[in-house]
Structure 1
Amino acid sequence: MADQMQWANALSTRPSLEAAVDEVVQRTASSLSARADLGLVFISSAFTSEYSRVLPLLADKLSVPVLIGCSGGGVIGTIGWGQTQELEAEPALSLTLAHLPGVNIKAFHVVAEELPDLDGPPNAWIDLIGVPPSPTPQFILLSASFSSGINDLLQGLDYAYPGSVTVGGQASSGVMGGKIALFYNDRLYQEGTVGVALSGNIVLETIVAQGCRPIGKPYQVTKGDRNIILELDEQVPLIVLRDLIAELSEEDRTLAQNSLFVGLAMDEFKVCLQQGDFLIRDILGVDPAGGAIAIGDYVRAGQRLQFHLRDAEASAEDLEFLLKMYQKQQAIEPAAVGALMFSCLGRGAGLYGQPNFDSQLFQRYLNDIPLGGFFCGGEIGPVGGSTFLHGYTSVFGICRAVESKSS
């Protein structure tokens, strides 16, 4: 009998942590007809006071050699009959189990202080992770929100493991400054990054839906200091922005009051920039006197940017377009067996005015494969050959075998 890759997910809404653990373990284990090699657990911040009990409770019920996970302001999973739910700000626990024949699984936990110099040799990163660059590993990363060194880690992995795919998200608490949790086998952390490297008979394919649309035209940063834009096209940034907003439709002007963002161009050499060519970043504040604009990333002279608006319609259209593109490529065999979803806290019901939008749209195109995940403080996914930490994004990591395995 063929030993095929298997994937299962269960979501529990039980308010008791013991009952929730019992339910997700029972449902996922009964869905697998072979041993679980990897577990991923996501827990709602409604259980904040009980984070330390999660791993002992799971260990009592579940035997899995590698388990990672984290807390989220909301969690995503399957409630039965292939129906997904996105539960925000209420008790919920999502467990994914995977049987991965022919796959080498290496878990790790790293903190910012351990990260090698980005100017050094790639071997330093390979030694840190403990995984050879061939066969090309696929990474799932879950990081702490603050001081985790996640941007340097993403650059380092891209550098040391060319061709690898990395997905994941930043653990979140649902409230500013709240407690987060990272789970790594039998240990609980509040800092750094936990992850798994998956090498061998496995492919991770990605969909990165940013859900913002550009307005106006691209500008060039002609003067900047860290995360502060001091000049755009040699003009005062705030005046540039005011002129742009004045030209918008009344509907877009209203939207710009609380859904205005900056998109930083990812490719310095691309001449015609379009939707999807940008990294979306927050506008943190403006200096009314000097006209400078502070954003949620570093800027440098010569960099191109474009202002963006985010609304439900743009987000829905962006995700559906990407899902249709992915579906067209699915003549590939074997088919996808499971997926992970890392969605921004700024999406969900707050954006769409209805629950479960992104996950149910995904299921419509991906034939009800098991889906688990959480609402993040930042989403990790590749765009244009490099891996970035995104905002206001839904990142999907879709898993399949490279080839069918037979015993």
Structure 2
Amino acid sequence: MDGASSSAAAIKTDTKRSQTAAAGLFSPINDDLLHNILSHLPALSFASAACVSKSWNQICSRILTRPKLASALSLHPSPKVAVKEVIEKVLAEPIRPHFVVANIGSGFGLYDISKLISKKLGSSIPFIISTSSGIFGRDALTHEFKEVKWGEVCGDGRDEDCSIPTKDANYGILLTVGFVPGLKVDAIPLLRTIKDPREVLLDKFIMDIKDYTASVSDCTSPVGIMMFGDGLRDMKPIVDALDYAMPAETVIVGDERCRFLYRSENESRNVCGNAKYFTDAVGLIFAKDKDKPHGIGDIQFQIALSNGVSTVGSRHKAVSVKVNNCERSTWLTARREGHPEILDGQQILDDINDELANHVDSSDLYIGVTKHRKISIGSEKPRWITSLEYHGVVGGDDQYLYVSGVGIKTGDYFNFYRSDPETALASCNNISSSLKKLKVNETQKHRCHMSEVFGGFLFACCGRGEPFFGRANVDGSPFVENFSRVPLAGIFCGGEIARGSLRLTGEAQKDSDARCTLHVYCTIYLVLSYTPAPAPLEH
């Protein structure tokens, strides 16, 4: 036997002796006492303890039967220090990471952060790292809840190092680690071919989601999808296609415009730097686990929406429509509903400015267009859907009203909307009341089969925050005030994605309503709750 083999054998023997000695040392300890000791270990020590013996592993598995979300933020300007602070915090208690979401300021590089996180958490856990316009969460050192507002993320998400000039840099990281027994999680990209940059592989994206879900679940539809788009691709048709392809129970939330990096558990999907594809978006897919262990309950995804716009003036109908594809804008004339006169852009804006009165300089203005369009996936028969899409008002003259985006047709109806902090504040208060009712239900005496909230995500428009409301932490307060000990991770977005029933706030949508999937001046609350499995019947 050579020296290396002899050393390896000695190490193996010493390890076995150590494990046997450890097991023997603690064998007289009552299982309940051991359970209590192990449940207070940091995550890494807990993982080591689970390897000591079969009985210890069983106790560790019993400790981690309920889902868990751990989240922390750091504003330290050094990426190494910031990552160290948040990882130490999220791993301070037992957890087995099933997924990782990190949101960073523009001063940190996506690749640098991914290497630091992988070094600490391992290279096999699916993750998404995005550069955000700001973050919400609890400070890793002080545990104080903070709202950190930076600026809107712009630029190409495919930069090699995603670096930003120092004068525009923002430093900070929000790290969230999730343990979700009963679910399977993976990251799936939306690809576009380099050979034909116009060809977005949308059908493949949807089939990849369905195929992955079918492979781990008893159905083809996930529980939830967390989306991140790179800002260079119009996300409206993508989210509309997901809305069409997925049942009403599938919740979709996310950030329409950011820079991101991801890793999938399936290596074939990790195409970063690939010579064939660009990645236009990525979705973190949550699917039910068909092999869910006995005794594990169910996780629910519920959303609530704080509306931040109010309508202005009369409804209009588009008369003539011209598209500027280079600038991705639309020029149009319109009629006020019930009036025959065709109005140019200046006439339309004069009417709206009269309606706005004192708000004309303080509000961002949009048109919300009701669109009735056919949509299909793959070879399926096309089906009509009705949707509401917002377009920012750029300006107007004696010919046209100019709005951002394309896709408006002659005959489409639209309303004007303005950003409105009073509407947003009232909406936040309503959500707080709804979450308070949920909290009251949790504290009822007989709650063995009641759902309990174990975490939340928040996606807020980058136009909101302290400048919008006049004070900080308004968007986070509905969740924090009702669930002060429950982790909440949030970001300011370049565009808020939200699709799903709003039953949490009693706003179930009718099939006949125009569905809105991309919002403006809104905050989306994703509430994660857990219902324990029924106790086995005694014989």
After TM superposition, is the score higher than 0.5?
yes
Structure 2 matches for 1:164-313, cutoff 5 A? 164-172=250-258, 180-184=259-263, 191-200=279-288, 201-226=298-323, 227-233=330-336, 235-238=342-345, 239-249=347-357, 251-255=358-362, 258-265=363-370, 279-286=389-396, 288-313=397-422
The offset of 1:327, in angstroms, is 4.1
The answer to whether residue 175 in structure 2 is matched with residue 95 in structure 1 is yes
Residue 445 (structure 2) aligns with: none
Do the aligned partners of 2:222 and 2:285 also contact (CA within 8 Å) in 1? no
C-alpha distance in 2 between matches for 1:79 and 1:92: 11
1:70 to 105, 130, 152: 130
The answer to whether residue 73 in structure 2 is matched with residue 11 in structure 1 is yes
TM-score using structure 2 length: 0.63
Do the aligned partners of 2:138 and 2:146 also contact (CA within 8 Å) in 1? yes
Structure 2 matches for 1:363-402, cutoff 5 A? 363-382=480-499, 384=509, 386=515, 388-402=517-531
C-alpha distance in 1 between matches for 2:452 and 2:372: 32
Deviation string, structure 1 residues 235-269 (Cα, Å, up to 9, x no partner):
214313312322444x23443xx52222334799x
Deviation string, structure 1 residues 268-325 (Cα, Å, up to 9, x no partner):
9xxxxxxxx9654311232x13133324453223332221221322221222223324
Uncovered stretches (5+) of structure 2, i.e. residues with no partner = 1-61, 151-169, 193-198, 265-269, 289-297, 324-329, 374-386, 443-449, 501-508
Counterpart AA for 1:228:
W
Residue 115 (structure 1) aligns with: 201
The offset of 1:59, in angstroms, is 1.2
TM-score using structure 1 length: 0.82
Do the aligned partners of 1:340 and 1:397 also contact (CA within 8 Å) in 2? yes
Instruction: Indicate the SS of the match to 2:107.
Output: helix
1:61 to 99, 112, 120: 120
The offset of 1:87, in angstroms, is 1.5
The answer to whether residue 241 in structure 2 is matched with residue 156 in structure 1 is yes
CA RMSD of aligned residues (A): 3.0
Do the aligned partners of 2:68 and 2:179 also contact (CA within 8 Å) in 1? yes
Instruction: Indicate the SS of the match to 2:237.
Output: helix
The list of structure 1 runs, each at least 4 consecutive aligned residues, that deviate by more than 6 angstroms after superposition, is none
C-alpha distance in 2 between matches for 1:323 and 1:55: 35
Residue 92 (structure 2) aligns with: 30
C-alpha distance in 2 between matches for 1:6 and 1:372: 13
Instruction: Indicate the SS of the match to 1:45.
Output: coil
The offset of 1:379, in angstroms, is 1.1
Do the aligned partners of 1:221 and 1:303 also contact (CA within 8 Å) in 2? yes
Counterpart AA for 1:183:
Y
Over 3 Å counting, the alpha-carbon distance change for 1:16 and 1:405 in structure 2 is: farther
How many correspondences in the alignment? 379
The answer to whether residue 435 in structure 2 is matched with residue 350 in structure 1 is no
Residue 177 (structure 1) aligns with: none
The offset of 1:402, in angstroms, is 4.8
Over 3 Å counting, the alpha-carbon distance change for 1:253 and 1:70 in structure 2 is: closer
Do the aligned partners of 1:323 and 1:362 also contact (CA within 8 Å) in 2? yes
Do the aligned partners of 2:223 and 2:287 also contact (CA within 8 Å) in 1? yes
Larger strand percent: 1
The answer to whether residue 103 in structure 2 is matched with residue 46 in structure 1 is no
Counterpart AA for 1:198:
F
Do the aligned partners of 2:255 and 2:459 also contact (CA within 8 Å) in 1? yes
C-alpha distance in 2 between matches for 1:301 and 1:42: 41
Identical aligned residues as a percent: 21
Uncovered stretches (5+) of structure 1, i.e. residues with no partner = 118-122, 173-179, 269-276
The offset of 1:209, in angstroms, is 2.0
Deviation string, structure 1 residues 55-75 (Cα, Å, up to 9, x no partner):
111111113622112111222
Counterpart AA for 2:118:
A
Counterpart AA for 1:91:
Y
Do the aligned partners of 1:342 and 1:379 also contact (CA within 8 Å) in 2? yes
Instruction: Indicate the SS of the match to 1:181.
Output: strand
Deviation string, structure 1 residues 163-202 (Cα, Å, up to 9, x no partner):
2110010343xxxxxxx33333588688411221111233
2:454 to 337, 354, 365: 337
Do the aligned partners of 2:227 and 2:283 also contact (CA within 8 Å) in 1? yes
The offset of 1:348, in angstroms, is 1.6
Counterpart AA for 1:153:
I
**Considering only CA atoms, is the larger Rg found in Structure 1 or Structure 2?**
2
The offset of 1:91, in angstroms, is 1.2
Counterpart AA for 1:84:
F
Counterpart AA for 2:527:
I
Between 1 and 2, higher relative CO (CA 8 Å, sep ≥ 6) is seen in 1
